[in-house]
Structure 1
């Protein structure tokens, strides 16, 4: 027989190769834990580690979710927020007629940012929306403060708005720094922190978001001590 007839293993080689070609795409698209953080990447030479991306997703997502809920939870909160925009809009040269469209656009953007940061395919889009909103808010606040406009801050729909102050601009700029950091980190290579570091990062993001949300309450609590 010799070389005239291939051996059984030789006959099976084409089947082995076909099976390998079929299995390769299946393995490549098999869902894993890393898929959840496809937007939170890092490599040895990447810009931001996965912890930065995860922290910023939690912090920005919670802050914007709280802002949207505070404005939309009832009609009273909504109208109070919309009315609070009038002095700021006037400071930047926008007429009273734009109050409602601006309020709707801002609340809709805030309501969209939180879920966008929750799902990996839309994380970068969520961060970019947050960047735009925070730049617009920061510019409006800076112009209003520079012009000495008297206004109330109802960023989180509080029923008793606090007078617009420099701390609100500082908070907005801090949020912008966090959002931009998240935008940059979301463009890095896919990776995830280990479970324990991830839990710690999520906790840090929640605490940071809570402190930013209750900034006015903390200021009212501790301001008398310094007076």
Structure 2
């Protein structure tokens, strides 16, 4: 059970680290995230900027909490809460007919959709699994295997829009 908890820590910590890092990678990336927050929430630009800063701070706090053994339970709870809040914001945006691309993991041209809500629900489920697990000393070999598998999961989550795009049906245009 301790390896499951460790894998959930690596997965969620990695996802939130990539998410925060993609928003902070440049001024332009953060500005795009703020603009996406305006579209997503319908808030005024000044409020959206404050929300965007709060999101990045919260994501970094989750990463740190999941790294420190004494605070992992708090980290899982915060991750679950953030994922829930993100899902609610996405659903509200979709109900308003706003399907602008999400800047969750940097630049994306994929409009918001049900896949983003499902992604968040699945990640929250890993948070629930992790929060119910026990923290204990791990053997290095199995821990490395678990960490590697979790990091593959991070990469898949971060590039989910691209992966879905690969399998989405496209219409061929005749060549002339």
Q: TM-score normalized by structure 1?
A: 0.70
Q: Give the one of 151, 155, 161 matched to 2:104.
A: 155
Q: Distance in 1 between matches of 2:10 and 2:101?
A: 27
Cα deviation, residue 193, structure 1: 4.2
Residue 63 of structure 1 is matched in structure 2 by 15
Is it true that 1:203 corresponds to 2:115 in the alignment?
A: no
Q: How does 1:105-184 map to 2 (within 5 A)?
A: 105-158=54-107, 160-184=108-132
Q: How does 1:40-55 map to 2 (within 5 A)?
A: 49-55=1-7
Find the residue that maps to 2:17 and give its secondary structure: helix
Cα deviation, residue 96, structure 1: 4.7
Find the residue that maps to 1:135 and give its secondary structure: helix
Cα deviation, residue 109, structure 1: 0.8
Radius of gyration: which is bigger? 1
CA distance 1:107–1:225, shift in 2 (3 Å): same
- The 8 Å contact of residues 154 and 162 in structure 1, kept in 2 or not, is answered as no
CA distance 1:226–1:199, shift in 2 (3 Å): farther
Is it true that 1:222 corresponds to 2:174 in the alignment?
A: no
Runs (5+) with no aligned partner, structure 2: none
Q: Distance in 1 between matches of 2:66 and 2:167?
A: 33
- CA displacement, residues 77-122 of structure 1 (integer Å, 9 cap, x when unaligned): 00101110122212xxx55542011101001111221122112122
- CA displacement, residues 171-222 of structure 1 (integer Å, 9 cap, x when unaligned): 111111111221222xx4x423433322221121111111001101112223
- The 8 Å contact of residues 65 and 110 in structure 1, kept in 2 or not, is answered as yes
Question: Which moves more between the two structures, 191-200 or 142-151?
Answer: 191-200
Find the residue that maps to 1:76 and give its secondary structure: helix
Q: Give the one of 86, 89, 97 matched to 2:41.
A: 89
Q: Distance in 2 between matches of 1:226 and 1:123?
A: 47
Q: Distance in 1 between matches of 2:130 and 2:44?
A: 34
- The 8 Å contact of residues 53 and 182 in structure 1, kept in 2 or not, is answered as yes
CA RMSD of aligned residues (A): 2.0
Q: TM-score normalized by structure 2?
A: 0.88
Instruction: Give the number of equivalent residue pairs.
Output: 172
Find the residue that maps to 2:168 and give its secondary structure: helix
